[in-house]
Amino acid sequence: MQVIYGINPVLEILRSERGDARKIIIATGTSPNYLNIPGEKEFKGKGISYCATCDAKYYGDKEVVVIGGGNSAVEEAEFITKFASKVTMVHQFDKFQANKQAQEKLLANPRVQVLFRHEPRSFVRHGDKMIVTVENLENGRLMELTTDGIFIFVGLKPNIDLFGGTLSLDNRGYLKTDEDMRTNLPDVYAVGDVRSKKYRQITTAIADGTIAAINITRELDN
């Protein structure tokens, strides 16, 4: 069995004369959506983060800005409050899109401040601080927020570009599989965050991999 992590297009591997791969597991995961505004690329990993579980611990008793308003942004912001002394949410709409229970929990947290109808326009570093310029979408006024760190949660996208449209996708662009992790192509499986499913966690990715490995092993043994 050979596991491929985005090295070559799937069909080329399956159809290669060498026949290197009898079965393929796709585990290319997802990537965060970017805002594509000045300073984001320059300060990624240097004041800007896309992973609360990775980096929130570095902001103990500090202030952070969280950009976004969906389930991920709201839930991750709540997690960040376990460390940060203040969390300022910046969201383009007049209300969150997260589930109601998560919203209520976040809004009841005294460490959270929310700027609805605002969008970030740029990021710069000044000494050990980050400065976020945000625009009030109701009147066009710009305002600067000085903070210790920035977290961006504006969605994820599956890493499927290298497959060239050969695999079946759901309406959000994730790979469709059956309960055994098989895709629409024979001998090609997909596991983890790149797969169409309800929950994306380490534990569910491990479960996907286990199911695929068991089925592949059984097929190869026959």
| Number of domains, the chain | 2
- Residue that terminates a domain, selected from 112, 135, 152: 152
Q: Which letter does DSSP use for residue 176 in this model?
A: P
Contact 212, 181 (CB under 8 A): yes
- Shared domain check, 52 and 6: no
- Shared domain check, 165 and 58: no
Q: Provide the annotated active-site residues.
A: 51, 54-55
- Shared domain check, 164 and 114: no
- Shared domain check, 212 and 135: no
pLDDT of residue 7: 40
pLDDT of residue 16: 52
pLDDT of residue 12: 60
- Shared domain check, 212 and 118: no
What is the band of 8 on the pLDDT scale with cuts at 50, 70, 90? very low
- Shared domain check, 160 and 124: no
Q: CA-CA distance, 59 to 63, in Å (whole number)? A: 7
Neighbours of 10 (CB within 10 A): 21
Q: CA-CA distance, 52 to 65, in Å (whole number)? A: 12
The whole-number average pLDDT for the span 131-141 is 97
pLDDT of residue 133: 98
- Shared domain check, 195 and 161: yes
pLDDT of residue 17: 46
> Percent helix, strand, coil in the chain (nearest 5)?
25, 30, 45
Average pLDDT, the chain: 90
pLDDT of residue 6: 43
Which tokens is 202 given?
A: 């380490």
- Shared domain check, 171 and 118: no
- Shared domain check, 38 and 135: yes
- Shared domain check, 216 and 165: yes
How do residues 44-59 score in pLDDT, each as one tens digit?
Answer: 999 999 999 899 999 9
Percent of the chain with pLDDT over 90: 76
CATH number at residue 81: 3.50.50.60
Q: Residue 215 sits in which domain range?
A: 2-31+156-221
What is the band of 20 on the pLDDT scale with cuts at 50, 70, 90? low
- Shared domain check, 173 and 90: no
- Residue that terminates a domain, selected from 127, 152, 177: 152
pTM score > 0.85 for this model?
Answer: no
How do residues 167-178 score in pLDDT, each as one tens digit?
Answer: 999 998 999 999
- Residue that terminates a domain, selected from 117, 132, 152: 152
- Shared domain check, 140 and 97: yes
